[in-house]
Structure 1
Amino acid sequence: MMKKVLHPWIMMLTVIAVITACGKDDPAPANRDDDDDDKPDTELPEGSISGNLAEIQLTSGESYTVVGDLTVPEGESVTIPAGTTFEFELGPRNEAWVIDVHGSLYIEGTANNRVVFTASEDALASSRNRGYGGLWGGIFAGRKAGDLVIEYADILHAGGIARAGTIMTTEESGGSGRLSAGDVSYAMYYCRPDGERQDGVFVLLHSRIAFTGDDAIRTNGGKTLMAYNTFEVIGQTGGEAVNIKAGGSGDYAFNLFYNIATNALKSADTQSGERGALETNFYNNTIVSSGYRRVDPGRGGSLNYESDAFGKAFNNLIVNCRYGLRLNKGESEPRYNALEFGHNWYYGQVSEVTDNFYPTNPTDPSIGLIGTDLPIPSSDRIGAAGENAPGFVNFNIASFTWANRVNNDPMPSGADFRLQTGSAALTAGTSEFEPKFETYTTLAGKVYEAPMPETYVGAFGTE
């Protein structure tokens, strides 16, 4: 019999310590030379899967134990139906199994019947589980991939140690996104290298990505829409929720980011995608208690543009984060004459936070263009410590302390980041701009519309 689906919230509540990814200096698991290393020696037990996903009949409502790498071959299209759960076992040498996508992958959960990717019960109970993911590899769309479309999915405890022969450690990663065996990996990856195919889209909607040791998502090119998602406890001593490189233009809106090691969203026109046109719009996002696990001074904490990237950043609600919207100053400056920003709302419980909304001290390593070379928008809501509380329905922003800012605590049970009726934040935004792309169309012809901006700040509006 197949195992019953494990609800991700129940799993979160029953497991106190979630896993950690090993550092980049940790030794890589040994790899055998034969091509059958990742294949079981005997017939798989009922409910266990590995190998070619295009040859596996998946049934909605069933749970599958993953005991080896899964692949979507080039030119193939795989759909994962609503209600499906994948539980990834650790390999015999603690290998982190991956889903390597060379074709197109469509993950079609629904609001009441989500798709779940998580570690197995044994992996979660193991000593490798320290709270930062890494018990399975991730979902990696390589340079030959078509679409990667994910709706209503939970992607938990991913970002395991990269292994030789998978997309992330070979030329299939598209060049500059490549990792070495032994590196901490991402939870998801999508690439469109310059000079190679540029069709297809990366769409992520209504999904939850939690517990990773480095970036949750890295893109190296590719038209991208990410909206209505939750990112939680991303990165150990560094890592963005979404790290966008050259060619990855798109819209990133109505997302919640909680306890991110560095930035929620970072855009930099570097690496292997098409250069010179990285336009990313960051709007109506809520970012809470982020930026404090990044050990480097002056690095991140909410939203970041650098290295000739540009776009629009409006209506973002940034609460108790290390820094505000940061436009890099110096050699890696963004294309600031093509950037538009404003109507962003900041709250800091202590002065150490409010002093770094837009730091202007020339000796401050976090100094950026805003407040120095560029004016602070008059439409932004900025105040002293404890001022401008947005009025969340259920979240105690006053519980933040400077002494306890560095942690890997998950979101409190029952947290509700909608705005209370009467909150001034409900009318502090602007709708006077357009998404980067009106629509995102898959290779199969399905059309996704980018959400229009709202006149409230943050991701949720009222009850």
Structure 2
Amino acid sequence: MMNLKPIFAALLLSAIAFTGCRKANLDVDTSSGNGSASGEVSGVWAKGSIQMIKGDITIPAGKSLTIEEGVTVLMDTTAKPEIIVKGNLYSMGTAENPVKFTVNDAYKTPAKKFGKMWGGILAAPTCAELVLDHTILEYGGNTTSDASTSVKQGLYKAVAGENLPALWFSNINGKLIVVNSIVRNFQEDCTYIEGGQIIFANNVFYTTGVTGGEAMNFKSGCLADLGFNIVYSANTNAFKLSNSGDRNPQAHIIAYNNTMVNTGWRRPSAKGGSVWVENNVHAEIYNNLFANTRFGIKRDTKSPEDKRTVVSNNLYYGYDQLTVDQFQPSKDIVGGVNEIISKKAGDNDPKFVNYPESTPVLNADYNTAWDFHLQSGSPALGHGRTDFTRHHAAGITIAGVGVTYTSPDPANYIGAFGTK
């Protein structure tokens, strides 16, 4: 009779080896240094390491991934990965060593300036905490197909043919922090947020949106403070503020001390602009600087904002007369109080330290040497309002990293920067 024990032993060893390989691929903790990943990931990606993302990755519910300063998360441009966050994600860069989600430099050509080379960060309703601190997201926004993980799992809009945002967050009870970060070179929306306690502060958004897309797009369920952000040439709006989706709480968005430049002109429809309010959103809009943006604060006349919405102490500058004309309050352009707005081209020049105000409004290329601080004598200085209450002045504590983030205090100037 054949002795089956050696055969069974061989089969058992093969099964163990297969399971080990599968585990190594699906639950990657590259805390010791560089690595590559696809499938399920959690643990720590170590300071300064390079993580090669070969396929879609998922942070499982109940687990966390912490990305330390200086990590480069390098996306495979053939696989065009999506990052699915069912647990928690903490991207903890520094000013000197930001975390970067990117592609190989060889692909960063003018022909590819609107990305599409990987998906985005897609946080499911089970994601309790997500932090992007000193983090760069660039060259993503791939279009979904029936084979996309997000479509198969019913995430984001869950249909083929959607251009993914850099960041989607969807937990009305969750905590979302995006601070000191840069989002650039994306095909459409930078962010699409459907709920949570939220702080967006000290961020820069540019070169985004081929035929549509907002820099920051908020829906029902959001309690958000948005302060000291710069948005340059978003295809559509810098902020889309909406209560769509029928989630509780009602969207209540406080946007203050932001600078918007050249936004909205690259979208030919009426939605292109700077700030769009709709669908009973409760908005508070203070101390914002609109420079050469298409329209001022624009409403959906068929589904307008909540009547408690407050608009005040904003400055509007237009280099040409068409721009100035489109700032004037009307049925669809929201007028505020204590606004600095005129009817003549060139009035209310904010006197940026270094930005040629004659730059064509259809330009989408951002010069990092530009400086949107204000020179002495700017009409934006000393005209900000500071007597309003922010949602998160007392802070949002992120348990996974033991840090409390507070929304920054409003400034007594208008825009994201005062004088140097």
How does the TM-score come out when normalised to structure 1? 0.79
Amino acid at match of 2:346: G
Deviation of 1:266 after TM superposition, in Å, equals: 1.0
Contact 1:347 1:383 in 2 (8 A): no
Structure number with the bigger relative contact order (C-alpha 8 A, sep ≥ 6) is 1
Distance 1:265 1:132 in 2: 19
Deviation of 1:305 after TM superposition, in Å, equals: 1.4
Partner residue of 1:150? Answer: 132
Q: Deviations over 1:32-90 (max 9, x none)?
A: xxxx9xx89xxxxx7433222216x5221122222111211110011000000011122
SS at match of 2:323: helix
Deviation of 1:292 after TM superposition, in Å, equals: 1.1
Partner residue of 1:255? Answer: 229
Q: 1:325 aligns with which of 297, 316, 326?
A: 297
Deviation of 1:315 after TM superposition, in Å, equals: 0.4
Deviation of 1:122 after TM superposition, in Å, equals: 4.5
Choose 378-387 or 159-168, whichever is displaced more: 159-168
Matches within 5 A, 1:346-361: 346-358=316-328, 360=330
Contact 1:199 1:443 in 2 (8 A): no
Partner residue of 1:286? Answer: 259
Partner residue of 2:356? Answer: 396
Distance 1:341 1:317 in 2: 13
Partner residue of 1:134? Answer: 116
Q: Deviations over 1:201-233 (max 9, x none)?
A: 010000000011111100111111100000001
Q: 2:279 aligns with which of 303, 307, 322?
A: 307
Q: Deviations over 1:394-448 (max 9, x none)?
A: 1111233xxxx334x3212410001112322111211111212322222435321
Distance 1:378 1:432 in 2: 14
Contact 1:152 1:207 in 2 (8 A): yes
Contact 2:283 2:305 in 1 (8 A): no
Partner residue of 2:189? Answer: 215
Amino acid at match of 2:291: V
Q: 1:278 to 1:313 in 2, by over 3 A?
A: same
- Structure 1 residue 110 corresponds to structure 2 residue 113: no
Q: 1:431 to 1:167 in 2, by over 3 A?
A: farther
Partner residue of 1:179? Answer: 158
Deviation of 1:381 after TM superposition, in Å, equals: 3.4
Partner residue of 2:72? Answer: 85
Choose 225-234 or 60-69, whichever is displaced more: 60-69
How does the TM-score come out when normalised to structure 2? 0.87
Distance 2:115 2:342 in 1: 35
Distance 2:338 2:377 in 1: 22
Contact 1:284 1:314 in 2 (8 A): yes
Distance 1:227 1:118 in 2: 22
Contact 1:300 1:326 in 2 (8 A): no
SS at match of 1:424: coil
Contact 2:241 2:283 in 1 (8 A): no
SS at match of 1:311: strand
Distance 1:318 1:308 in 2: 23
Deviation of 1:342 after TM superposition, in Å, equals: 1.0
SS at match of 1:356: helix
SS at match of 1:304: strand
SS at match of 1:236: coil
Distance 1:101 1:115 in 2: 17
Deviation of 1:389 after TM superposition, in Å, equals: 0.7
Partner residue of 1:435? Answer: 390
Q: 1:295 aligns with which of 268, 274, 280?
A: 268
- Paired residues in the alignment total 389
Larger radius of gyration: 2
Give unmatched runs, 5+ long, in structure 1. Answer: 1-35, 41-45, 193-197, 361-366
Deviation of 1:130 after TM superposition, in Å, equals: 3.0
Distance 2:179 2:100 in 1: 14
SS at match of 1:132: coil
Distance 1:369 1:413 in 2: 31
Distance 1:446 1:219 in 2: 22
SS at match of 1:249: strand
Choose 431-440 or 377-386, whichever is displaced more: 377-386
Q: 1:264 to 1:143 in 2, by over 3 A?
A: same
SS at match of 1:427: coil
Deviation of 1:359 after TM superposition, in Å, equals: 5.0
Contact 1:200 1:443 in 2 (8 A): no
Contact 1:104 1:148 in 2 (8 A): yes
Deviation of 1:166 after TM superposition, in Å, equals: 5.1
Contact 2:381 2:414 in 1 (8 A): yes
Higher strand proportion, which one?
2
SS at match of 1:111: coil
Amino acid at match of 1:51: G
Give unmatched runs, 5+ long, in structure 2. Answer: 1-21, 27-33
- Structure 1 residue 410 corresponds to structure 2 residue 365: yes
RMSD: 2.2
Amino acid at match of 1:110: T
- Structure 1 residue 244 corresponds to structure 2 residue 244: no
Distance 2:118 2:333 in 1: 39
Distance 2:389 2:223 in 1: 14
Amino acid at match of 1:406: L
Distance 2:35 2:352 in 1: 43
Distance 2:406 2:293 in 1: 30
